[in-house]
Structure 1
């Protein structure tokens, strides 16, 4: 079925990852429909663009009716905002996913779904790196909504109506085709902004020793491509997508300074209540999808992000 898959809907198509997913699918010969709420920065390689709201069941149903598969990336993703506006997150991340699932499951033939999920569903487990067989522990509204979306996909897949995969990403960064992450709340964009003079400084909570896992956006895109081929009717599978590398905040700052030759103005704030270590075990993705994080070394990630904004 994988070789016959030619019509793919990408929701959240104008986002950082969505934009790259659209381009990669088109490069591989698929017919790609890009869905977003607005017409700004629509991927040029999309065969078609639909302006729609994933919270609208009718709009989603119309879009899904014309495709064989969906890469569902449309979501709200900021943890802090999710505490302030939890209902907004539940409406977008859960209701939006339910609308996609409803539209997919109404088809006479099983369709495919690759769902953009997050490593945040595991909370802060003591055992690191984190594998998919560890218990989930969603500690904020954002993580809870993404976990709910995963479970809904699993339950619908269990009926045989669809085949589904959830990709639980860790920290996606870098750039693809010269387009980098515009979200200035994330670490690497914040560092790049400080070095480029668009922000006065980088505020680091504590001494910068917390450990995180960064994955290059192009490696993330490759996971989507492979997951589409892996979807089988009646099954749902979750895969952790990360580099497996233990990277501290200090490591990222040092890499940025080495790559750019510019100092990062850093101000240390009091330590925050945050997990000391979050690292992905992506063994399952390697074994079952043949996926490898080939571009997810820190120098490549930070270098690509820097050159995307400095040229």
Structure 2
């Protein structure tokens, strides 16, 4: 298939493009600026999701499918700039769907478990009613709905993949967002930061997914996409969690270096967030292969070291 990947130079987009090329697909990577680092075999397509006129011109090619991964993702930042997040994540998605050539009959959208908010039910199934508690989560939910309603018109089949905490590395590229726990803990281990601040006692449990496993899920979703007129929503994960304390210990064990911590007051956050991923295993035959915490951290640490950390 001829596949367009938006956000192809980003952390997840790079991994997805790499996997699609390995699976034999012809891949174009949408980037806003020329010269961005893309996986070998991914052809750059320069365009901006917030420039509808220019976008239509660069997408005038017979693509078969799109993996839409371009987005703003920082939860805390979204509270300060909610309109910026809605513009990028919702309007950008609408602009993309309007600009896609009619040959595109498969749409895979990379979403987030932030759409669930703070549910009492654990592990979280796809049937859980979304109730996002951040502008980021709300913007991703609105973009999901745009994709799924677009599919209902018969224009395409669609798959939405909701993920929790993505980590690890492929191609020597670490997660650049050091507001997230594992990248920040590795920055401390590498000596680029003095300490890791944690909320409360570090007992909050979260699920972690290797970025390469998430990329493999996108390939499965693309190849197993439902026919035009239908849409599916899947949690992408393994259903196992680790506490903040456990992550810190694993970082220290893998790196052989201390990670000094400073406790901040507890925050109003769910004590446990893990997913029920039975549906994606049943329908697409996907399950994580590289998402054991030590492997995630070892791969991320190797990438940090290779970039001079």
- Which bracket does the TM-score occupy, shorter chain normalised? over 0.9
Runs of 4+ in structure 1 deviating by more than 6 angstroms, as ranges, are: none
- Write the deviation string for residues 10-60 of structure 1: whole angstroms up to 9, x where unpaired: 111111010111111112221111111123542142442122111121233
Mapping of 1:251-270 within 5 angstroms?
A: 251-270=246-265
TM-score, structure 2 normalization? 0.95
Determine the C-alpha separation between the residues in 2 that align with 1:131 and 1:63. Answer: 38
**Residue 176 of structure 2: aligned partner:** 182
1:100 pairs with 2:96: yes
Q: 3-state DSSP class of the match of 1:151? A: helix
**Residue 84 of structure 1: aligned partner:** 80
Contact 1:172 1:214 in 2 (8 A): yes
Determine the C-alpha separation between the residues in 2 that align with 1:28 and 1:230. Answer: 14
Contact 1:110 1:233 in 2 (8 A): no
Deviation at 1:214, TM superposition (A): 0.3
* Cα distance change of structure 1 residues 47 and 310 upon mapping to structure 2, 3 Å threshold: closer
Contact 2:175 2:183 in 1 (8 A): yes
Determine the C-alpha separation between the residues in 1 that align with 2:106 and 2:272. Answer: 34
Contact 2:17 2:42 in 1 (8 A): no
Q: For this pair of structures, how many residues does the alignment match?
A: 304
**Residue 291 of structure 1: aligned partner:** 286
Please, which runs of 5 or more residues in structure 1 have no aligned partner? none
TM-score, structure 1 normalization? 0.95
Determine the C-alpha separation between the residues in 1 that align with 2:20 and 2:81. Answer: 34
Contact 1:36 1:52 in 2 (8 A): yes
1:9 pairs with 2:4: yes
- Write the deviation string for residues 225-276 of structure 1: whole angstroms up to 9, x where unpaired: 0000122211111110122112100010011111111111111111112111
Q: 3-state DSSP class of the match of 1:306? A: helix
Determine the C-alpha separation between the residues in 2 that align with 1:123 and 1:47. Answer: 35
Determine the C-alpha separation between the residues in 2 that align with 1:186 and 1:174. Answer: 12
**Residue 120 of structure 1: aligned partner:** 114
* Cα distance change of structure 1 residues 117 and 34 upon mapping to structure 2, 3 Å threshold: same
**Residue 69 of structure 1: aligned partner:** 65
1:149 pairs with 2:161: no
Q: In structure 2, which of residues 9, 14, 17 is the aligned counterpart of residue 19 of structure 1?
A: 14
Determine the C-alpha separation between the residues in 1 that align with 2:41 and 2:65. Answer: 15
Deviation at 1:110, TM superposition (A): 5.1
Determine the C-alpha separation between the residues in 2 that align with 1:295 and 1:44. Answer: 20
Determine the C-alpha separation between the residues in 1 that align with 2:194 and 2:238. Answer: 30
Tell which deviates more after alignment, 51-60 or 40-49: 40-49
Contact 1:54 1:96 in 2 (8 A): yes
1:278 pairs with 2:265: no
Q: 3-state DSSP class of the match of 2:273? A: coil
Mapping of 1:159-174 within 5 angstroms?
A: 159-174=153-168
Please, which runs of 5 or more residues in structure 2 have no aligned partner? none
Q: Considering only aligned residues, what root-mean-square deviation do their CA atoms show, in Å?
A: 1.3
Determine the C-alpha separation between the residues in 1 that align with 2:58 and 2:65. Answer: 11
* Cα distance change of structure 1 residues 201 and 177 upon mapping to structure 2, 3 Å threshold: same
